[in-house]
Amino acid sequence: MGKIQIYAGKGHGKSPAGLGEAMMAAAAGKHVVIIQFLKGKGITESGFERRLEPELKIFRFEKSDCDFCKLPEEKQKEECRNIKNGLNFARKVLMTGECDLLVLDEVLGLIDNGIIEEQELKTVLAAAGEDTNIVLTGISLNDSIGEMADMISCIERIK
């Protein structure tokens, strides 16, 4: 497995840090896949992300227009199925070596929200080839996931 970087903490900037890593890798000629979780559809409907292809591909599997936590319980259950499809896609991307860098934005929040168990994320990460680097973001960092990381940055709000 390549290197695993984690951006975690309660401060603002984790996702932008992950996206910055993605942009730098794409600028260096690497192929990048970004899968975003818990954010609704976001920019995937704007067409902007398609202009970044083929070097950088952005995916969101959620169908709702708003954040997962703001959804009623019934919609959350529906989105959980979509989110798990996204996680399965991440595993496929890693198994096939489809990219040089995989960014799993807000994936740590899946554990926080009880959508997946930490072992499910570990199984996905274990599918990575030797040359595939991974960036994980989220607020809370689980110790056992942290042990897998080569670098952890804690983003906290100062002011």
Per the CB < 8 A criterion, the answer to whether 135 and 104 are in contact is yes
Mean pLDDT, rounded, for 3-14: 96
Q: Is the pLDDT confidence value at 48 over 80?
A: no
57 forms bridges with which residues in the sheet?
33
CB within 8 A of 141, min separation 6: which ones? 6, 8, 9, 108, 152, 154
In the chain the domains, ranked by start, together with CATH numbers, are: 4-154 (3.40.50.300)
pLDDT value at position 139?
Answer: 94
Q: How many CA atoms lie within 13 A of 110 on its CB side?
A: 28
pLDDT value at position 43?
Answer: 53
pLDDT value at position 72?
Answer: 87
Q: Is the pLDDT confidence value at 69 over 90?
A: no
pLDDT value at position 45?
Answer: 55
Q: Is the pLDDT confidence value at 49 over 70?
A: no
* Chain segment 86-144, per-residue pLDDT in tens: 999 999 999 999 999 999 999 999 999 899 999 999 999 999 989 999 999 999 998 99
With tokens 């309660």, the residue in question is 10
* Chain segment 15-47, per-residue pLDDT in tens: 999 999 999 999 999 999 999 998 765 555 556
pLDDT value at position 60?
Answer: 87
pLDDT value at position 24?
Answer: 96
pLDDT value at position 46?
Answer: 57
Q: Is the pLDDT confidence value at 56 over 70?
A: yes
Query: pTM, whole model, 2 decimals?
Result: 0.91
